[in-house]
Protein backbone atom coordinates (compact mmCIF):
# COMPACT_ATOMS: atom_id res chain seq x y z
CA UNK A 1 0.00 0.00 0.00
CA UNK A 2 1.31 3.42 -0.97
CA UNK A 3 0.16 6.64 0.65
CA UNK A 4 -0.53 9.97 -1.05
CA UNK A 5 -1.13 13.13 0.94
CA UNK A 6 -3.58 15.11 -1.16
CA UNK A 7 -2.65 18.50 0.23
CA UNK A 8 -0.30 21.37 -0.47
CA UNK A 9 -0.26 22.34 3.23
CA UNK A 10 3.28 22.48 4.70
CA UNK A 11 1.83 21.81 8.18
CA UNK A 12 0.12 18.60 7.08
CA UNK A 13 3.25 17.45 5.25
CA UNK A 14 5.38 18.12 8.35
CA UNK A 15 2.93 16.31 10.67
CA UNK A 16 2.90 13.21 8.46
CA UNK A 17 6.68 13.36 7.95
CA UNK A 18 7.16 13.34 11.73
CA UNK A 19 5.40 9.95 11.95
CA UNK A 20 8.09 8.29 9.84
CA UNK A 21 5.67 6.75 7.34
CA UNK A 22 6.50 6.98 3.67
CA UNK A 23 4.21 9.04 1.47
CA UNK A 24 4.23 11.32 -1.51
CA UNK A 25 2.42 14.62 -1.92
CA UNK A 26 0.02 15.47 -4.73
CA UNK A 27 -1.82 18.76 -4.93
CA UNK A 28 -5.61 18.46 -5.23
CA UNK A 29 -7.10 19.74 -8.47
CA UNK A 30 -10.34 21.25 -7.21
CA UNK A 31 -11.56 24.84 -7.31
CA UNK A 32 -12.24 25.32 -3.61
CA UNK A 33 -14.25 28.51 -4.11
CA UNK A 34 -16.56 26.78 -6.61
CA UNK A 35 -16.92 23.74 -4.32
CA UNK A 36 -17.92 25.95 -1.38
CA UNK A 37 -20.62 27.55 -3.54
CA UNK A 38 -21.91 24.12 -4.65
CA UNK A 39 -22.07 22.78 -1.09
CA UNK A 40 -25.65 22.53 0.19
CA UNK A 41 -25.16 20.85 3.57
CA UNK A 42 -24.69 22.18 7.10
CA UNK A 43 -21.74 24.54 7.57
CA UNK A 44 -20.22 22.20 10.17
CA UNK A 45 -19.96 19.48 7.48
CA UNK A 46 -18.10 21.63 4.93
CA UNK A 47 -14.60 20.53 6.02
CA UNK A 48 -15.32 16.82 5.42
CA UNK A 49 -17.03 17.64 2.11
CA UNK A 50 -13.98 19.60 0.90
CA UNK A 51 -11.61 16.86 2.13
CA UNK A 52 -13.59 14.32 0.08
CA UNK A 53 -13.52 16.49 -3.03
CA UNK A 54 -9.76 16.98 -2.65
CA UNK A 55 -9.05 13.26 -2.20
CA UNK A 56 -11.24 12.25 -5.12
CA UNK A 57 -9.61 14.84 -7.42
CA UNK A 58 -6.28 13.01 -7.29
CA UNK A 59 -5.53 10.17 -9.68
CA UNK A 60 -4.06 7.14 -7.93
CA UNK A 61 -3.28 3.53 -8.68
CA UNK A 62 -5.30 0.64 -7.20
CA UNK A 63 -2.78 0.06 -4.38
CA UNK A 64 -2.59 3.71 -3.34
CA UNK A 65 -4.62 5.46 -0.68
CA UNK A 66 -5.15 9.21 -0.69
CA UNK A 67 -5.49 11.37 2.40
CA UNK A 68 -7.65 14.45 1.88
CA UNK A 69 -8.04 17.13 4.55
CA UNK A 70 -9.54 20.55 5.11
CA UNK A 71 -10.43 22.89 7.95
CA UNK A 72 -13.28 25.31 8.47
CA UNK A 73 -13.43 28.01 11.10
CA UNK A 74 -16.98 28.64 12.27
CA UNK A 75 -18.02 31.42 14.63
CA UNK A 76 -21.61 32.57 15.13
CA UNK A 77 -22.59 30.56 12.05
CA UNK A 78 -20.09 32.52 9.92
CA UNK A 79 -17.32 30.73 8.03
CA UNK A 80 -13.90 32.36 7.99
CA UNK A 81 -11.65 31.56 5.04
CA UNK A 82 -7.90 32.08 4.87
CA UNK A 83 -7.25 35.83 4.88
CA UNK A 84 -6.29 37.27 1.50
CA UNK A 85 -4.14 40.05 2.98
CA UNK A 86 -2.53 41.12 6.24
CA UNK A 87 -5.30 43.74 6.53
CA UNK A 88 -7.94 41.00 6.29
CA UNK A 89 -5.99 38.87 8.80
CA UNK A 90 -6.16 41.82 11.20
CA UNK A 91 -9.97 41.99 10.73
CA UNK A 92 -10.30 38.24 11.37
CA UNK A 93 -8.29 38.44 14.59
CA UNK A 94 -10.30 41.44 15.81
CA UNK A 95 -13.55 39.58 15.11
CA UNK A 96 -12.30 36.43 16.93
CA UNK A 97 -10.79 38.37 19.87
CA UNK A 98 -12.31 37.50 23.28
CA UNK A 99 -14.65 34.95 21.67
CA UNK A 100 -14.89 31.20 21.23
CA UNK A 101 -14.97 29.68 17.77
CA UNK A 102 -15.00 26.14 16.40
CA UNK A 103 -12.18 24.90 14.22
CA UNK A 104 -13.60 21.94 12.32
CA UNK A 105 -11.17 19.50 10.73
CA UNK A 106 -12.30 17.10 8.05
CA UNK A 107 -10.05 14.22 7.04
CA UNK A 108 -10.76 11.34 4.66
CA UNK A 109 -9.02 8.42 3.01
CA UNK A 110 -9.95 7.33 -0.49
CA UNK A 111 -8.98 4.21 -2.40
CA UNK A 112 -9.97 3.25 -5.94
CA UNK A 113 -11.90 6.52 -6.21
CA UNK A 114 -14.10 5.78 -3.17
CA UNK A 115 -14.07 7.33 0.29
CA UNK A 116 -13.29 4.49 2.70
CA UNK A 117 -12.73 6.49 5.92
CA UNK A 118 -13.96 9.84 7.28
CA UNK A 119 -13.14 11.82 10.39
CA UNK A 120 -14.47 15.09 11.71
CA UNK A 121 -12.82 16.84 14.64
CA UNK A 122 -14.23 19.91 16.37
CA UNK A 123 -11.94 22.04 18.52
CA UNK A 124 -13.30 24.87 20.66
CA UNK A 125 -10.86 27.78 20.55
CA UNK A 126 -11.18 30.67 23.04
CA UNK A 127 -9.05 33.71 22.26
CA UNK A 128 -7.77 36.29 24.71
CA UNK A 129 -9.07 39.82 24.35
CA UNK A 130 -6.47 41.13 21.91
CA UNK A 131 -5.35 44.74 21.66
CA UNK A 132 -4.49 46.34 18.33
CA UNK A 133 -0.87 46.40 19.46
CA UNK A 134 -0.88 42.64 20.21
CA UNK A 135 -2.50 41.87 16.84
CA UNK A 136 0.02 44.05 14.97
CA UNK A 137 2.99 42.48 16.80
CA UNK A 138 1.68 38.98 16.15
CA UNK A 139 1.13 39.65 12.43
CA UNK A 140 4.53 41.33 12.15
CA UNK A 141 6.27 38.26 13.65
CA UNK A 142 4.19 35.78 11.63
CA UNK A 143 4.58 37.52 8.26
CA UNK A 144 2.93 36.51 4.98
CA UNK A 145 2.84 32.82 6.00
CA UNK A 146 -0.20 33.63 8.13
CA UNK A 147 -2.21 34.05 4.93
CA UNK A 148 -2.06 30.25 4.52
CA UNK A 149 -3.85 29.75 7.88
CA UNK A 150 -7.58 29.67 8.50
CA UNK A 151 -8.30 32.24 11.20
CA UNK A 152 -4.93 33.94 10.65
CA UNK A 153 -3.23 31.91 13.37
CA UNK A 154 -1.02 28.87 13.79
CA UNK A 155 -1.10 27.33 17.27
CA UNK A 156 2.16 25.49 16.62
CA UNK A 157 3.91 28.84 16.27
CA UNK A 158 3.39 32.36 17.57
CA UNK A 159 -0.39 31.83 17.50
CA UNK A 160 -0.36 29.82 20.73
CA UNK A 161 -0.17 33.00 22.81
CA UNK A 162 -3.42 34.31 21.30
CA UNK A 163 -5.48 31.69 23.13
CA UNK A 164 -7.00 31.59 26.58
CA UNK A 165 -8.33 28.03 26.24
CA UNK A 166 -8.34 25.26 23.65
CA UNK A 167 -10.52 22.15 23.84
CA UNK A 168 -9.55 19.78 21.08
CA UNK A 169 -6.93 17.55 19.52
CA UNK A 170 -3.66 19.43 18.90
CA UNK A 171 -2.84 17.43 15.77
CA UNK A 172 -6.29 18.14 14.27
CA UNK A 173 -5.85 21.84 14.97
CA UNK A 174 -2.49 21.83 13.18
CA UNK A 175 -3.95 19.96 10.21
CA UNK A 176 -4.39 16.18 10.59
CA UNK A 177 -5.92 13.98 13.34
CA UNK A 178 -2.77 11.84 13.46
CA UNK A 179 -3.84 9.29 16.09
CA UNK A 180 -7.11 8.44 14.33
CA UNK A 181 -5.53 8.69 10.86
CA UNK A 182 -2.62 6.36 11.68
CA UNK A 183 -5.04 3.84 13.23
CA UNK A 184 -7.13 3.92 10.07
CA UNK A 185 -4.06 3.44 7.86
CA UNK A 186 -2.98 0.44 9.98
CA UNK A 187 -6.42 -1.12 9.67
CA UNK A 188 -6.57 -0.52 5.90
CA UNK A 189 -3.07 -2.05 5.55
CA UNK A 190 -4.27 -5.24 7.28
CA UNK A 191 -7.48 -5.59 5.22
Which active-site residues does the annotation give? 70
- The answer to whether 131 and 138 are in contact (CB under 8 A) is no
User: For 188, phi and psi rounded to 5 degrees?
Assistant: -65, -40
**DSSP-derived secondary structure for the chain:** -EEEEE---HHHHHHHHTTT---EE------HHHHHHH--S-GGGHHHHHHHHHHHTS---TTEEEEEEEEEEEETTEEE---SSHHHHHHHHHHHTTSEEEEEEEEEEEETTEEEEEEEEEEEEEE----HHHHHHHHHHHGGGGGGSGGG--TTTGGGGGEEEEES-HHHHHT--HHHHHHHHHHHHH-
Amino acid sequence: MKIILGSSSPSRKKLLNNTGIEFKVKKPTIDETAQKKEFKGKKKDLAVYLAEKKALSIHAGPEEIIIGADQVLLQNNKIYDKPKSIQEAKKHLKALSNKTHNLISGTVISKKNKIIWRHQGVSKMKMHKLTDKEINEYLSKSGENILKCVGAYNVEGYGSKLFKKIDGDFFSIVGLPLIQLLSAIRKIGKD
